[in-house]
Amino acid sequence: MKQPGVPNAATCEVYGLNATTLTHDAIMERIRAAIRSMKGAGLSDGEIGEGTALWPTGDPDQASLGFDSLDFLELVVRLEDLYGWSLPEDLIDASRFQTVGDLAAVAQAVLGGDMLVEETGVNAASAGHGAS
Amino acid sequence: MIAAAHALLESGPEALWGPESDAFVDEVSCRHPAGETYRARTVEAMARCSIADDTSRGQFASDIYRHFIWTHFAAKLVMAATPAAAFGAVLQHVKLDELLRASDAIGPAILSGFHYTGYPLIALSVAMSPAAPLITKARVDVLERSDSASRLNDRVVYLSDRSAPLRLTRALKQGQSIWAMPDVVLPSVRTVQVQFLGCEMEVVAGLGRIAQLSRRPALPLFWVVESGVAALHPGPPILPEESEQEFIQTLVTGQADFVAHHPTHWLEWYSLLTDAPLVRAEVKQGNETMWSSITAALQ
């Protein structure tokens, strides 16, 4: 089984990427940089953490970026333009696609050629189930 | 009403522009639970914009209501029941020459008009034309049950999907036009306030952002269905270099000029009212009530 986050040559070719290994942390850093370019450089790592919700949650204890679909559009297009990432549209509609960590997990799976989509989920790799 | 629906269907798609259609519209018009609300609130919205005088607004609203019923029930019934024949008839009745020339000249663009009479027929004809845009829809409706819908599935984006703005932006960047009507605002969608015939109006904000991110222009569209013919007229392209607010305002100003000259062909006057979402919900509920009856004719 290929390790998540380790892109193979074929995947890199499909997505127009350089054949460099991106760890989950590196992916998170790129996402944080893109979000800061939209929302302000002052956002801390903690404010853009794995568990930070992308959308408004209504839960005062839940950190959230308060995105709407246009904010998210801008983020995805920036990631596409900056890094050549191409995130699957079907996954964006998945109900469990909620946090920055979910976004990183999808990017990691795409970059690793390791996409495994469950019916209601984002990917099994991010939940520690691995991928086949 | 069911008998009128059967008479319309049995006469074929050409009957959309004939007495069978008029009889069906009569039947649906008098039974629609939100008909009175629709007319009254249309009069109110027209008064806000100082369109027509006090004595003629009622007749205008009645004409608009008939166009609304024809669009939402007669046209959709025929499209759902006999999609292939309906498409053939639409091609005979909708003139796309100007649109196709403009589209060829400017390349992928946001094809954008308001909800004018017959818009599902117009959208179908444009979708099946060489322009072949990605069509936006608010929701699944009766048309999704038809064969024509299955032929168009890969060209339809539902605005309720979180990925909708991304799909539209990617389509434009990859060379495909999109079709969008910004005068109907869905719940939880970002809006921008613009001026429309001297009134404030909330419209969908996304088209400005999509234009900027895709770096593609909007091509305003206008049409009137009269005597069984609709010709699409494109306006001057709106370039993405404008700010999002300016982009949307320019788009709306062009549509406002058209509406001022053809007030009975815009079906969404009540969009101008502060309680437009409530009015829309009542009209939508009425539509669903009517369709639950009319569906019997389809079976």
Which residue among A69, A90, A97 places its CB closest to the CB of B165?
A69
Contact A73 B205 (CB under 8 A): no
Domain of B151 in residue numbering reads as 2-298
Distance (Å, rounded) from C-alpha A85 to C-alpha B162?
18
- The Cα A65–Cα B198 span in angstroms is 36
pLDDT > 70? residue B7: yes
Out of A70, A90, A97, closest to residue B165 by CB? A70
Q: Hey, what domains does chain A have and what are their CATH numbers?
A: 9-127 (1.10.1200)
Residue B174 CB contacts under 8 Å (≥ 6 apart), including other chains: none
Chains A, B: CB pairs < 8 Å: 42
Ranges A104-113, B29-38, B160-169, B282-291: which has the least confidence: A104-113
The answer to whether residue B263 scores a pLDDT higher than 90 is yes
Indicate whether B63 pLDDT > 70.
yes
Chain B CB within 8 Å of residue A41 CB: no
pLDDT at A20: 55
- In this prediction, residue B143 has a pLDDT band, given cuts at 50, 70 and 90, of low
Q: Which residue of B has its CA nearest to A67?
A: B190
- pLDDT tens digit sequence for A3-39: 444 444 444 444 444 445 678 899 999 999 999 999 8
Between vectors from CA A117 to CA A115 and to CA A120, what angle results, nearest 5°?
155
Residue A121 has pLDDT above 60, yes or no: no
Please state the pTM of the whole predicted model.
Answer: 0.84
Q: Each residue of B69-92: pLDDT tens digit? A: 999 999 888 888 877 777 788 888
* A69, A74, A77: residue with CB nearest B162: A69
Is the Cα torsion angle A23, A27, A33, A35 positive or negative in sign? negative
Q: Do B169 and A77 touch (CB under 8 A)?
A: yes
The beta strands (E) that lie in B38-85 are given as: none
Choose, out of A78, A79, A93, A103, the residue to mutate when testing the contact with B (most B CBs < 10 Å): A93
pLDDT at B156 over 60: yes
Nearest CA in chain A to B166: A73
Using the Cβ of A96 and the Cβ atoms of chain B, whether some distance falls under 8 Å is answered with no
Please tell me the total count of domains within chain B.
1
